[in-house]
Chain A
Amino acid sequence: MSTPIVEMHGVTKVFRTGAVETKALRGLDLQVQRGEFTAIWGPSGSGKSTALNLIGALDTPTSGTVKVDGQDLGTMSRKQLSAMRRDRIGFVFQAYNLIPVLTAYENAESVMALQGTSASEREQRVMTLLEEVGLKGMEHRRPYEMSGGQQQRVAIARAIASNPAVVLADEPTANVDSATAENLLTIMAKLNQEQGITFLFSTHDPRVMTYARRLVGLVDGVVDSDRSKDAGAE
């Protein structure tokens, strides 16, 4: 088996508010392989979003190890973490996650631009992606000129434009209607199947769980269940 895209070993995360300690993760172990379409699910407070933050290099664990694409995030400087997010991780947030002053095209190309990709290469890649997510002809629209679903599709295009090792999607369907949610999930599932892009969701949405090929259930900061639809129960 190849190196997992995501590895978490004995990860704990404790939040302190004054004298109050909240243990969000209590020794989480998780591995995500390349090409997976995985959903982390669980009740509120189970630690699924905290886990996503740690994998996304947005936060640091209290203890334990988090590796993305084989690199230990705990050994990296702020600058290296910033580069890691830019080059190896794609993000799709709940809503309002586009840069308002940029057009759909500019939003989609922004991470590639940060990477220093040439303008011609960006254009070729972004135009293809926008077409794949069904936004051909809307390149010049600003976020306020698009629906929530269209904005999320731009966010998906932006997340995958830079060829990340993994796309982290936090409740990507939470702020859209059912039809749009189905549409978004279809697009992501297609990208996963056709291009092998790894997706890792944090969700409450049963529709996401329907599309996911692997379901990781968290309860009280530890893995309570881990089921792969491809290989049966584990």
Chain B
Amino acid sequence: MTGSAIVKMAWRNLWRQRRRTVLTLISIAFGGFLAVLMTAMQDRSFADFIDNAARFGAGHVTLQHPEYQDQPTLTRSISLSEEDRAKDSSDEDVLKIVDRTAGQAMVSTASDTFGAMFIAYDPEREDENTMEFTEGLTAGKLFETAKDDGIILGRTLAKNLDANLGDKVVFTLTDRSGEIVSGMERVSGIVTTGSVSTDAALVLLPIGTVRKVVGYDPTETTQVAVFLDNGRKSVEVAQRLRERHGGDYAVLTWDEIQPEIKAFIAMKVGGGRVFEIVIGILVAAGIFNTILMSVLERTREFGIMLAIGYSPRQLFAMVMAESAFLGAMGLVLGVLLTAGPYYYLYNTGIDMGPIMAENMESFDIGGVGMDTVLRIGIFPENAAAIAIAIVVATLAAGIYPAWKAGRVDPVESINLV
């Protein structure tokens, strides 16, 4: 008998118990729907989180002094020539390359003194794709050039220092030779990042001001931050930059710069996988139950088929084809079921701000702020993995019933006596 005849019988068999088949398809589709939404939520939050970490830190890929990672002081600086910057910028995955100088500082007002973390940046090179804080300005204004006057404080730090717009703030840091140097600026802006700990320590300065205070050259900086169209390409871009620059700089990816974030994401991905496996097992158990029941109901029929010459292998193939149809149709139904909610959550999302405000003091992980609007976006390989998992789970669920169909005893099942 040809394979097409077996497939035709399998297709018709599915519709003998229409309601049961439809319910099974719905359970497969709903399982797929849950898996896609959960994964898409996770993928999007991680992608956004990585972008935020890159904006807050030093890009998706960072060029820095080879010893800066172990000794992050202003003495470990680099200078990227305009020629090299232009070459790096021409990489198809590179969105922008900016200088960042960061370090520890003491900030003082007439009222108090606090330890802080300063980030010096070039406002003319940065934009909303590279600078996390532009959306969190609560008072004053952001810098417009690298040589602007002023200092921007995190909201909690400003409160602790009792500093308001226009108040004098003295910042103290160590220069390139390890000497303590100071500068004085007036508060020109106050920002919030969503992270309480970051807001209590953040100081933003124009990079020109810091270069002048610490004695850097006009192109000198501690880090060159490379921003990408897609943060997930950081490893391959970093590799290309390493090849281009040889050993002049240490070229690190965002997760090498901030390993605690990588560890957090890995932990969450692991948890998500467990959840997906549980969903997969539940869906597979439902399908297994359905297929096994349909096989047990047809015991006599299988006995007759074996008696007239069908082989156990052909019966196995027929039941497996039924499973494959269930998997494929469940997948299509799952796509239809998921499309609408996915489109809405991808584009519009749900504002979780009010709920998060009630339950969380700080919207951050490791000091990196999180978006309060819940949006989703699944990585293509994860979408493919879910689709494959659904089909594989459905096929796996069919194996035992299919084997059982071929093992029916014709004498007992037909009750020839």
| Residues A82 and B417 in contact, CB atoms below 8 Å apart | no
Is B137 interfacial (CB 8 A cutoff)?
A: no
| Residues A113 and B311 in contact, CB atoms below 8 Å apart | no
1/0 per residue, CB under 8 A from A, across B383-417: the answer is 00000000000000000000000000011001011
| Residues B305 and A99 in contact, CB atoms below 8 Å apart | yes
Q: Which residue from A83, A91, A113 sits with its C-beta under 8 Å from B1?
A: A113
User: How many A-B contacts if CB must be within 8 Å?
Assistant: 69
| Residues A99 and B411 in contact, CB atoms below 8 Å apart | no
Is A65 interfacial (CB 8 A cutoff)?
A: no
Interface size on B, residues (CB 8 A): 24
User: Would you list 6 pairs from A and B whose C-beta atoms are within 8 A, ordered by A residue?
Assistant: A53-B417, A58-B411, A83-B309, A93-B416, A99-B301, A100-B16
Given the known A-B contacts A49-B417, A99-B301, are A79 and B311 also in contact in the complex, defined by CB atoms under 8 Å? yes
Given the known A-B contacts A85-B309, A111-B308, are A58 and B5 also in contact in the complex, defined by CB atoms under 8 Å? no
| Residues A52 and B416 in contact, CB atoms below 8 Å apart | yes
Show the binding face of A for B, using Cβ within 8 Å. 49-50, 52-53, 56, 58-59, 78-79, 82-83, 85-87, 91, 93, 96-97, 99-102, 110-111, 113-115, 158, 162, 170
Q: Which residue from A78, A99, A101 sits with its C-beta under 8 Å from B304?
A: A99
Q: Which residue from A56, A91, A101 sits with its C-beta under 8 Å from B16?
A: A101
Q: Which residue from B5, B9, B311 sits with its C-beta under 8 Å from A82?
A: B311
* Distance A102 CA – B309 CA, assembled complex (angstroms): 16
| Residues A158 and B308 in contact, CB atoms below 8 Å apart | yes
Interface residues of B in 174-229 (CB under 8 A from A): none
Q: What's the minimum C-beta distance from B300 to chain A, rounded to whole angstroms? A: 7
| Residues B307 and A114 in contact, CB atoms below 8 Å apart | no
User: A59: which B residues are within 8 A, CB to CB?
Assistant: 411
Interface residues of B in 280-312 (CB under 8 A from A): 300-301, 304-312
* Distance A97 CA – B303 CA, assembled complex (angstroms): 10
User: B301: which A residues are within 8 A, CB to CB?
Assistant: 99-100
In the complex, residue of chain B having the shortest beta-carbon distance to the beta carbon of A48: B417
In the complex, residue of chain B having the shortest beta-carbon distance to the beta carbon of A115: B309
User: B1: which A residues are within 8 A, CB to CB?
Assistant: 110, 113-114
* Distance A82 CA – B315 CA, assembled complex (angstroms): 12
A56-B307, A58-B414, A115-B309 known, 12 other contacts, Cβ within 8 Å:
A52-B416, A53-B417, A58-B307, A58-B410, A58-B411, A82-B312, A85-B309, A91-B307, A113-B5, A114-B308, A114-B309, A114-B310
Q: What's the minimum C-beta distance from B35 to chain A, rounded to whole angstroms? A: 32
* Distance A56 CA – B411 CA, assembled complex (angstroms): 10
5 shortest interchain CB distances as A-B pairs: A86-B309, A101-B12, A49-B417, A113-B1, A114-B1
User: B89: which A residues are within 8 A, CB to CB?
Assistant: none
Q: What's the minimum C-beta distance from A39 to chain B, rounded to whole angstroms? A: 16
Q: What's the minimum C-beta distance from B378 to chain A, rounded to whole angstroms? A: 38
* Distance A203 CA – B414 CA, assembled complex (angstroms): 16
Given the known A-B contacts A96-B300, A99-B304, A100-B16, are A53 and B416 also in contact in the complex, defined by CB atoms under 8 Å? yes
Is B2 interfacial (CB 8 A cutoff)?
A: yes
| Residues B304 and A85 in contact, CB atoms below 8 Å apart | no
In the complex, residue of chain A having the shortest beta-carbon distance to the beta carbon of B298: A100
Interface residues of B in 298-343 (CB under 8 A from A): 300-301, 304-312, 314
* Distance A138 CA – B337 CA, assembled complex (angstroms): 41
User: B306: which A residues are within 8 A, CB to CB?
Assistant: 82, 85
| Residues B304 and A97 in contact, CB atoms below 8 Å apart | yes
Q: Which of B5, B301, B308, B416 has the most CB of A within 10 A?
A: B308
| Residues A85 and B308 in contact, CB atoms below 8 Å apart | yes
Interface residues of B in 102-133 (CB under 8 A from A): none
In the complex, residue of chain A having the shortest beta-carbon distance to the beta carbon of B310: A114
| Residues A85 and B307 in contact, CB atoms below 8 Å apart | yes
| Residues B411 and A53 in contact, CB atoms below 8 Å apart | yes
User: A93: which B residues are within 8 A, CB to CB?
Assistant: 304, 307, 414, 416
Given the known A-B contacts A49-B417, A170-B416, are A91 and B308 also in contact in the complex, defined by CB atoms under 8 Å? yes
Is B134 interfacial (CB 8 A cutoff)?
A: no
| Residues B9 and A102 in contact, CB atoms below 8 Å apart | yes
User: A91: which B residues are within 8 A, CB to CB?
Assistant: 304, 307-308
In the complex, residue of chain B having the shortest beta-carbon distance to the beta carbon of A107: B308
Is B13 interfacial (CB 8 A cutoff)?
A: yes
* Distance A110 CA – B318 CA, assembled complex (angstroms): 14
Q: Which residue from A49, A87, A110, A158 sits with its C-beta under 8 Å from B416?
A: A49
* Distance A83 CA – B312 CA, assembled complex (angstroms): 11
User: B5: which A residues are within 8 A, CB to CB?
Assistant: 113
Interface residues of B in 9-47 (CB under 8 A from A): 9, 12-13, 16
Q: Which residue from A78, A83, A97, A113 sits with its C-beta under 8 Å from B2?
A: A113
Q: What's the minimum C-beta distance from A54 to chain B, rounded to whole angstroms? A: 10
User: B411: which A residues are within 8 A, CB to CB?
Assistant: 53, 58-59
In the complex, residue of chain A having the shortest beta-carbon distance to the beta carbon of B307: A91
In the complex, residue of chain B having the shortest beta-carbon distance to the beta carbon of A54: B411
User: B304: which A residues are within 8 A, CB to CB?
Assistant: 91, 93, 97, 99
* Distance A101 CA – B12 CA, assembled complex (angstroms): 6
User: B9: which A residues are within 8 A, CB to CB?
Assistant: 99, 101-102
User: A158: which B residues are within 8 A, CB to CB?
Assistant: 308
In the complex, residue of chain B having the shortest beta-carbon distance to the beta carbon of A87: B309
* Distance A85 CA – B307 CA, assembled complex (angstroms): 6
In the complex, residue of chain B having the shortest beta-carbon distance to the beta carbon of A50: B417
User: B314: which A residues are within 8 A, CB to CB?
Assistant: 114
Q: What's the minimum C-beta distance from A23 to chain B, rounded to whole angstroms? A: 15
Q: What's the minimum C-beta distance from A160 to chain B, rounded to whole angstroms? A: 12
Q: What's the minimum C-beta distance from A148 to chain B, rounded to whole angstroms? A: 16
* Distance A15 CA – B305 CA, assembled complex (angstroms): 24
